[in-house]
Amino acid sequence: MHPARPRPRAGLPRPRPRASRRGLASGRLWSYWRWRCWAGISAWGWGSIASLWLRLARAWPWPRPRPRPRPQPFSVAIKRVPRERIRRWGELPRNGISPTDGIVLLPQPDGTSAPLEIVLLAKVSTGFPGVVQLLEWLELPNDVLMVLERPERCQDLQRFIRARGFLPEEVARELFRQVLEAVRHCTSCGVLQRDIKPENILVDLATGQAKLIDFGCGTYLQDTAYTHFAGTRSYSPPEWTHFGWYYGRPATIWSLGILLHQMVCGEHPFRRDQNINEAL
């Protein structure tokens, strides 16, 4: 038999029964799970409220920012001209293209001079689609670099004609009209290109735009006769072959006639100088 528990004395508090280990564990677990259940219910409730708010925000016609336009593909052509081949320099216009900053340049004595080709391009290429645009130019110790526009899909007129044998009358008419407008624009700006040929005409295959390029043989337009020829020999006017002089506008018309013959017939009318003399 178990011994009898001693009775508490009168006037003293009755001692509390000691809790068992099982009771302590169950009490702690209940408080733990009660907190977990409350946290889960709260998270579910707040998540539902947030989800409902997002749905309402998406459905509401809020002013949304416009998407930024993607940059279009852009390509350039870089032309390098050795300094020893540059014979003539000119003065850049005040609103012309200046060299890039941050590069060691070799300025001329007056600080505004540039190769004549760059000066001519700065005069005729601004804002006119029929002439190649001069974007930038750099002057290095041994070379002069020109950064020119180049359409993404393009081909010079010589290869354009060879790929087709000859051009239909409608295509030749449209391209020749654009070349005439480019030549007229250059002469109105006082510039003579002096080397009009299919290799110096660039055709944009995407838009059909013809662009006049390569002003390395160009010069200022003058009313008096020229006694020095620069350009391709087979496109030179007959007066240069006979007399050694020529005028700018008639010589340009002669080279344009040869260009038109190549476009519609697919070949050069005069392959040698003696053929020109015999035709005259």
The string of pLDDT tens digits covering residues 130-141 is 999 998 888 888
* Residues 193 and 258 grouped into a single domain: yes
| Pair (268, 214) in one structural domain | yes
We report the CATH number of the domain holding residue 221 as 1.10.510.10
pLDDT band with cut points at 50, 70 and 90 for residue 111: very low
pLDDT in tens, 45-86: 666 666 766 666 666 665 666 777 766 666 888 999 998 888
- pLDDT greater than 60 at residue 268: yes
User: What's the maximum distance between 2 C-alpha atoms anywhere in the chain?
Assistant: 153
**Mean pLDDT in the chain?**
78
Which residues belong to the active site?
195
- Indicate whether 95 and 213 sit together in one domain: no
Q: What is the pLDDT of residue 112?
A: 67
In a domain, 237, yes or no: yes
Number of structural domains found in the chain? 2
- Residue 101 has what pLDDT? 35
Note the pLDDT of residue 68: 72
Average pLDDT, integer, range 31-41 = 61
Average pLDDT for 108-127: 78
**Residue 124 sits in which domain range?**
74-150
> Looking at 120, 150, 180, which one is the last position of a domain?
150
| Residue 250 placed within a domain | yes
Quick one: 125 and 164 in the same domain?
no
CATH number for the domain that contains residue 83: 3.30.200.20
